[in-house]
């Protein structure tokens, strides 16, 4: 399959700031990729390079085989910027019509995207009466119009409530199902669970992860928390047997490596009636994200528990 985005070893320097260093990333048709990273990690810079607004200091990018910013690339890409702003005097429908004309899309597409983002009722109101979430949905509508081959969405879910977020991810999954490629940036890994094919994490301009979420969880190999509630008289014995720390009188908590989990659970089950309950919790996605955004890909310390 030929990639829509092909970025090879790109670096971007702004005077003294290394915004991106030696980043290579590809996105194929039908793929949804999430780009994560702290403030200033380089996400928006990568979007601006893909759009051809700026040129990399080193490396190369092609968009569906064309140079970023060329007519060929521009026909391929739709963009929802980080700070979405529309002329206040226009209505939502007029805004989407404007973008439809710009992209040579059919006018029938306008009603269909307004419908998708649930703005039909407000479509004929001026944009300055819209709430933040409505403006964000209008931004998504202008990006969806004309069925783009590549959707670039810079923090598209900021300002959206949980239900709207869910609906948003359904809409972009539709785009991917129809063969469009999606690259979206976000600050949180937890909202992305099962919603993207791949997660790319930038840390201070370097790509420190680029893999499906399940692979990242496995690679991070973060400790698993086991909490054991002992029967009233047995808590000291349980603690002596399995180690860890005492919490709230009757419970013992310990952390173990994934590979050790079954051995420890069978040790706990061997304690029989001395144990009343066991709770096992894997690392949360936020912890996985924190792990990758704190440590570099070649940092040996990440392997330690
Ligand atoms: N035009 C510019 N001139 C100078 N420095 C810039 C310019 N654009 C970006 N930078 C710097 O490049 C780095 C990356 O910025 P970028 O906007 O790509 O981060 P980001 O990951 O999108 O952050 P955020 O989550 O805050 O939106 C930052 O240190 C920023 O100050
Ligand atoms: Mg940004």
Both tokens of 30, joined, read 């039908």
Same domain, 269 and 154: no
Same domain, 80 and 202: yes
In a domain, 237, yes or no: yes
pLDDT value at residue 301: 39
pLDDT in tens, 179-196: 999 999 988 777 887 788
How does residue 250 score in pLDDT terms, banded at 50, 70 and 90? confident
Decide which of 294 and 148 is more confident: 148
Same domain, 18 and 55: yes
pLDDT value at residue 298: 46
pLDDT in tens, 85-107: 899 899 999 999 999 998 889 99
Which ligand sits closest to the CA of 37?
1
CB 2 within 8 A of CB 65: yes
Helix 162-177 / helix 132-144 crossing angle, nearest 10 deg = 0
pLDDT value at residue 295: 66
Q: How far is the CA of 46 from the centre of ligand 1 (A)?
A: 10
Give me the number of domains the chain comprises.
2
Q: What is the 3-state secondary structure (H, E, C) of 43-105?
A: HHHHHHHHHCCCCCCEEEEEECCECCCCHHHHHHEEEECCCCCCCCCCEHHHHHHHHHHHHCC
Q: Residue 300: pLDDT above 80?
A: no
In a domain, 305, yes or no: no
In a domain, 189, yes or no: yes
Same domain, 24 and 76: yes
Residue nearest to atom 17 of ligand 1 (CA): 44
Same domain, 44 and 158: yes
Question: Could you list the residue range(s) of the whole structural domain that residue 243 is in?
Answer: 223-282
Domain-ending residue, one of 193, 218, 243:
218
Task: For residue 121, report the phi and psi dihedrals to the nearest 5 degrees.
Answer: -65, -35
Same domain, 182 and 262: no
Domain-ending residue, one of 195, 218, 241:
218
CATH of the domain at 42: 3.40.50.300
Of 150, 168, 148, whose CA–CA distance to 158 is shortest?
168
pLDDT in tens, 122-166: 999 999 999 999 999 999 999 999 989 999 999 998 888 888 899
CB 289 within 8 A of CB 188: yes
Q: How far is the CA of 45 from the centre of ligand 1 (A)?
A: 6
The structure tokens 């063969």 sit at 179
CATH of the domain at 253: 3.30.70.120
How does residue 204 score in pLDDT terms, banded at 50, 70 and 90? very high
Q: Given CA atoms 64, 70, 76, 81 in this order, what sign does their dihedral have?
A: positive
The structure tokens 């970023």 sit at 68
Both tokens of 23, joined, read 């980043």
pLDDT value at residue 302: 38
Q: Which atom of ligand 1 is nearest to the CA of 37?
A: 21
The structure tokens 């499906």 sit at 212
In a domain, 293, yes or no: no
Q: How many CB atoms lie within 10 A of CB 79?
A: 19
pLDDT in tens, 12-63: 999 999 999 999 999 999 999 999 999 999 999 999 999 999 999 999 999 9
Same domain, 150 and 264: no
The mean pLDDT value for 229-248 works out to 90
Residue to probe by mutation, ligand 1, list 11, 12, 14, most atoms within 8 Å of CB = 14
Q: How many CB atoms lie within 10 A of CB 188?
A: 13
Q: How far is the CA of 113 from the centre of ligand 1 (A)?
A: 31
Query: Ligand 1 in contact with 21 (CB < 6 A)?
Result: no
pTM: 0.86
Domain-ending residue, one of 172, 189, 218:
218
């Amino acid at each position: 399959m030929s990639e829509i985005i092909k970025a090879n070893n790109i670096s971007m320097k702004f005077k003294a700031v290394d915004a991106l260093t030696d980043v290579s990333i590809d996105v194929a048709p039908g793929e949804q990729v999430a780009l994560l990273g702290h403030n200033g990690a380089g996400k928006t810079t990568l979007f601006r390079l893909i759009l051809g607004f700026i040129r990399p200091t080193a490396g190369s990018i092609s968009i569906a085989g064309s140079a970023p910013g060329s007519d060929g690339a521009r026909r391929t890409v739709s963009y929802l910027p980080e700070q979405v702003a529309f002329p206040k005097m226009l209505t939502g429908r007029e805004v989407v019509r404007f973008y439809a004309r710009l992209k040579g899309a059919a006018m029938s597409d306008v009603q269909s995207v307004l419908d998708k983002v649930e703005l039909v009722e407000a479509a004929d109101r001026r944009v300055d009466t819209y709430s933040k979430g409505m403006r964000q949905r209008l931004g998504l509508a202008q990006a969806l119009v004309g069925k783009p081959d590549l959707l670039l969405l810079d923090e598209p879910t900021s300002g959206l409530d949980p239900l709207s977020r869910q609906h948003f991810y359904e809409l972009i999954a539709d785009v991917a199902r129809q063969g469009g490629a999606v690259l979206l940036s976000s600050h949180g890994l937890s909202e992305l669970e099962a919603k993207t094919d791949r997660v790319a994490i930038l840390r201070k301009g370097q790509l420190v992860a680029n893999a499906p979420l399940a692979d990242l969880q496995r690679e991070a190999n973060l400790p698993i928390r086991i909490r054991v509630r002992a029967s009233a008289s047995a808590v000291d014995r349980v603690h002596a047997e399995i180690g860890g720390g005492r919490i709230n009188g009757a419970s013992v908590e310990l952390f173990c490596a994934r590979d050790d989990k079954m051995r420890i659970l069978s040790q706990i089950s061997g304690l029989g009636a001395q144990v009343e309950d066991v709770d096992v919790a894997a690392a949360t996605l936020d912890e996985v994200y924190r792990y990758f955004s704190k440590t570099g890909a070649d940092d040996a310390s990440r392997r330690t528990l």
